[in-house]
Amino acid sequence: MCGIVGIVNVSEAADRGVLERMNGAIRHRGPDDDGYYVRESAGLAMRRLSIIDLAHGKQPIHNADSTKWIVFNGEIYNYRELREDLERGGHRFYTNSDTEAIIHLYDEYGDGCLAYLRGMFAFYRPRPRR
């Protein structure tokens, strides 16, 4: 099973070194790969146990214009059907992973995307600061 870690620090930039140490502590959760996203005060990292899209499913995964990013743990059983529907609507994918289907669904439906997902999963989307 994969593992996810993250930092949100409201007073200063996220420290990638701390994120790397956190991610290293859960290496046993996903020995196949790791990935990082650090921007301003937020940082995400994950350890991957490759099951779907072994070659191209590296996370974090972004949407088409790289304005949204996701780290994801679980499996979306109906991602192929969701992907086909999204592609018919003009979405273009760069992986074959179930994770990318989620970020495109989010672009299309916002928080309502959860109603379309069938599977077992957990992911986190921080709210913008006010």
Q: What is the DSSP letter of 126?
A: P
pLDDT at 52: 63
Would you put residue 97 in left (φ > 0), alpha (ψ -120 to 50) or beta?
beta
The structure tokens listed for 122 are 């957990």
Based on C-alpha coordinates, what's the Rg of the chain?
15
Mean pLDDT of the chain: 86
Query: What whole-number distance in Å separates Cα of residue 4 and Cα of residue 37?
Result: 12
Domains and CATH numbers, the chain: 3-123 (3.60.20.10)
Q: Is this model's pTM higher than 0.85 or not?
A: no
> Among 11-15, 85-89, 126-130, where is mean pLDDT lowest?
126-130
Positions marked active-site: 2
* CB crowding 87-107: b at 16 or more within 10 Å, else e: eeeebebebbbbbbbbbbbbb
Instruction: Give the pLDDT confidence of 29-85 residue by residue, as tens digits.
Output: 877 778 898 988 889 898 877 766 666 667 889 999 999 988 888 889 999 999 999
Query: Residue 106: enclosing H or E segment and its boundaries?
Result: helix 98-109
